[in-house]
Structure 1
Amino acid sequence: MFKIIGALLGYYFLGIFGALLGYIVGSFIDRYIAYGAGAINPLTNAHRQTVFIQTVFILMGKLAKADGHISQTEISHVEDFIQKLGMTPEHRQQAIALFKQGAAADFDFEPQLNEFMAVCGHTNSLKQMLLVYLIVMAVSDARLDPAEESLLKSFALRLGYDQLAFRQLLDMILNQSHFAGGQPTSASALDDAYKALGVTKESSDQEIKRAYRKLMSQYHPDKLMGQGLPEDMIKVATAQAQEVQAAYDLIKKSRNI
């Protein structure tokens, strides 16, 4: 609403340039109202997105090398990740270079995390999405190496997660991944579904609905873009939302809710 008002007022007082400026300022106000103080200023959006992408690929490289070697599965995961982002050949090369930089034995990731926290750290959604991407990367080879888990813990600590919050998020992501192809048919599928939503069989229908809605809100494209997640990375967040949806659908079916 305010972006339209801003554009009209800007055009009235300053012409075409004023309309553009008014639209940008109005958009910022709309996002602030919709998402709170975590909403971004469009004028700084590009910088925040750049820092986010750099951090993702550098820490992915560090994580892939945590157990001493980079597996072909992990390389394939990064390639698939880049493909999902729809990167140009030039940007693909830059992403690979960042991944290799992070994987270097003597590379210190702390400065990159410091920059991330300075630019993106006040937005909980960006911190959580970064950690989600890294967890998905760590389990891409169907196992979580102790060295990888230890490094993930250190990342989580720097992002403001205590050990309990990290374990809860890790358990949810691990179980959400079981629903990547839709609803599984294994004997443990229902148990996995509850864990994917961060609830238990003893949770009430209302508690389960709240957990589901909270997760879907966290993965909502408009909200994530409003807080600075690069548009290309929305595809990955959407995939996570689909896994949550599949888990919730299985629980609904079992409970007739």
Structure 2
Amino acid sequence: MKLLVLLVIGVILYFIARNYKTEKFENIKLDIKERFNGDLMNHEAGLLIALMAKVAKADGQVSELEAEMLKHTFTDISSHFENSSEIREKLKEIYEKEKNSFDNTISICEKLYKITKHDYVKRVKILEYLLNLAFIDKEFSKTEFMITEDISNALQIKKADFETLVNRFENFYRDQKNSEALSLDKAYEVLQSSANDDDSTLKKNYRNLVKKHHPDIISGQGASQDIIDQATKKLQEINQAYELVKKHRGI
């Protein structure tokens, strides 16, 4: 079964920075489900998980987002098999084993290359999926670069295609970071505060603004409906700004 043709249509993860939206595995329908009882390290599914294990552990630790992506990948891949529960457990076993060593990375790639030898597009999509995992915590370390580059070379992917994918992710996260910074600056402006204010000052400013723009208070002052509506909109903006700053500060 051409499992990875289905699995790597685009780079999945609905939560890559919670914004990089692509196909979910659950939206891909199969007319026939495969039953596989052999060694998954001879199957595209197992080899993909093995490489994901290497990439996830490349910088020495598996982040929360990487773990979440792996969990969903186990579920999504196994759902395409009749014996899904058994396959999911085997995929988890492969991950736990393969994350502990990088010595066999190239040999795993060679196995995968043999299976996908005549499908270059599929191999590029596999690499894109692995880069998705590497970038998902918004940090692309030197070790992650090295291992994904090694995988790319072993899968005989053109250097230009590898660089194009890396640049695409780097640009996406750079743009997102800039957007977040602008949004945060705007939030402080709305709250009539600054990033240098401590939490108590921020909270005090927020409460004062709520009192000033709360529609119930405005209504009690005999204001017109238009002014009350404006106050309601302003209060929503103030609340949104406060939630953004709180999230950024971890309070």
Using the size of structure 2 for normalisation, the TM-score is 0.48
Structure with the bigger percentage of helix: 1
Q: Which has the larger radius of gyration?
A: 2
Using the size of structure 1 for normalisation, the TM-score is 0.47
